Amino acid sequence: MDLATRIARLRAEIERHNHAYYVLDTPVIPDAEYDKLFRELQTLEAQHPEFSTPDSPTRRVGGKPLDAFAAVRHAVPMLSIRTETDISDAGAIAFDVRVRKELGLSENEAPIEYACELKFDGLAINLRYECGVLVEAATRGDGETGEDVTQNVRTIHCIPLHLKGCAAEVLEVRGEVYMSRKDFERYNERQREQGLATLVNPRNGAAGSIRQLDPALAARRPLSFFAYGLGETRGWDSPVTHSAVLDALAKMSVPVSDERAVVRGAEGMVKFHRRIAAKRDSLPFDIDGVVYKVNSLALQTELGFVSREPRWAVAHKFPAEEQITVVHDIDIQVGRTGKLTPVAKLEPVFVGGTTVSNATLHNEDETRRKDVRIGDTVIVRRAGDVIPEVVGVVIDRRPANAGEPFDLFKRLHGKCPVCGSRIVREEGEADWRCTGGLFCPAQRVQALLHFASRRAMDIEGLGYKLAEQLVDGAIVNTPADLYKLGMPAVADLDRMGEKSALNLLEAIEHSKRTTLARFIYALGIRNVGEATAKDLARHFGKLERLMKADEVSLQQVPDVGPVVAQSIIAFFSEPHNIEVVKALLAHGVQWVEHEAQAVRESPFSGKTFVLTGTLTTMTREQAKEKLEALGSKVSGSVSKKTDYVVAGAEAGSKLDKAHELGVAVLDEQQFLTLLESV
């Protein structure tokens, strides 16, 4: 295969995968495989710049920063449409009456056909394709002149750089760049974790991203796009209806929303408005209404425009998702993981279709950054099923007696508002947390579920619903109370019965014999995962030594740094947690002591194993536990540092890698013989 053909095939394959992932939401290859294809294309284009093209997928990573956006004059003006602010059925009915009147239709004549679609809450964009290739992207601007944002728009993966099956001289696609709710929340959460500024709302996020002068910054923002119409066209046979135009764009791989319909008359529009209003909260993106358009393009031409607005289209609004209200107080809520979240207590306000009296402030840093104080007038946002949040303060309305800047530690006097345990904030963390994990009522369900999980105490049958019943019924206040449960209390719970109750009690009794590593992990110490718990058990050998360890001795354990060490110290310095640990031991929880000594004497100590294929005598998880108990490390990938690869039936690429690197390979029988030799 010659170089030009390979490059062309790579581009086509990458764009096919982009469409599957970003538009259809049905990826067909793993991310690693996609990255491999992308890197190959990047390398070939860098080595052979003569094959570079403006529609290559590699153009999506962004170009050089701009000093300013160039002006773009629209060949066909990007006009806004009229907004019908009456959110009742009357809004749709009034539009139909106007259209019929303009067309001179009597009441007895057939109803008009309308195309109904969503009114996306983002930034309008015009995409200009010449001979099927994206050559320019521009904002609406004043309708006549916009800004050239081509570099930034190219970073949006769902926008095709080359139209599928279209070689028209000019085809301008118009639509909305938006940010999905999930991507918006994920982006903001990542920003909060890093102590960086968050986006006010998805619409501002989309608009601000597109208008970044540095396309590399725009590329980091997760944006999407939906087409809703056309601008200039040359050399393209347009369908006769608006809905058919959108169908044609979808066939060209242009993203078009599925939430659209062709209806007849006012009654059809009313039904569409009601249907979308009912599912608005479940949509993955924000909308602020629906749009009705006369479906026939010929009738659109006949109706024309008035005051720079088309007579043939209207936006029918939904209730606003942002409103202004007053902060009466700031409360602190404790989450199930111990996270402390400031919550604004508001003057009740109707927003996003419901009355809101509480709104999250996320964390102390966010509250300070926005400078939210008691008495402030604030902007509250509620979109979909997202928790209402305070997005900003109206500083001009701040009263003279407004409270001081928010200080969470000072407000709580350093103690959890639920259980009175100390609160801590680790270095680099955005959130304050309660240290009373095993004791704090707000964390009981989560603590119980973690304690009983398979990799912790492994209490089979103790799931979320049961944990909720035990906690809500005040039957279990700490994990230690599990070992006091009797048949009457358990059998009376919903959907239990005598047999299920007996199985649960047997599982609880069985869990008493465990390992020190499992017990440490079960305690739910922040930042102490399964692997760290095993390292701590090996190093200290006894729980008492771990509980008394200082920061210096803790940091002698592999992979334990200052943050993990502080988490362990904070946990064991909380009297409530010590009480629960003692209660667990008093109820008979036990393990083999001197694990550290056993590990040091094992010939397996410090060896790195990789498990691959299917073992017949044990599961891979059981094999991993045996190896780790003997001081070995079990890795997920083969490298030069691997000492042994244990290969079961149908071993795959890891076995090939082992042969390639000359790593020792054990079959199952050899592995068992090695284990028996210890």
On whether the CB atoms of residues 648 and 616 are closer than 8 A, the answer is: yes
* Strand 377-381 to 389-393 pairing: antiparallel
| 3 state DSSP class of 638 | coil
CA–CA dist 673, 62 (Å, integer): 57
Angle (deg, nearest 10), helices 575-586 and 562-572: 70
Angle (deg, nearest 10), helices 90-103 and 265-279: 150
Q: Where are the beta strands (DSSP E) in 385-436?
A: 389-393, 423-424, 433-434
On whether the CB atoms of residues 15 and 160 are closer than 8 A, the answer is: yes
Q: Residue 228: CB partners within 8 Å, gap ≥ 6?
A: 117, 120, 174, 175, 176, 246, 291
- Only one residue has tokens 């044609």, namely 248
The number of beta carbons lying within 10 Å of the beta carbon of residue 140 is 19
The number of beta carbons lying within 10 Å of the beta carbon of residue 104 is 7
Is-catalytic flag, 640?
Answer: no
Identified catalytic residue from 64, 101, 119, 626 = 119
On whether the CB atoms of residues 369 and 406 are closer than 8 A, the answer is: no
Burial 182-213 (b: 16+ CB within 10 A, else e): ebbeebbeeebeeeeebbbbbbebbbbbbebe
| 3 state DSSP class of 42 | helix
On whether the CB atoms of residues 208 and 223 are closer than 8 A, the answer is: no
Q: Would you name the residues annotated as active-site residues?
A: 119
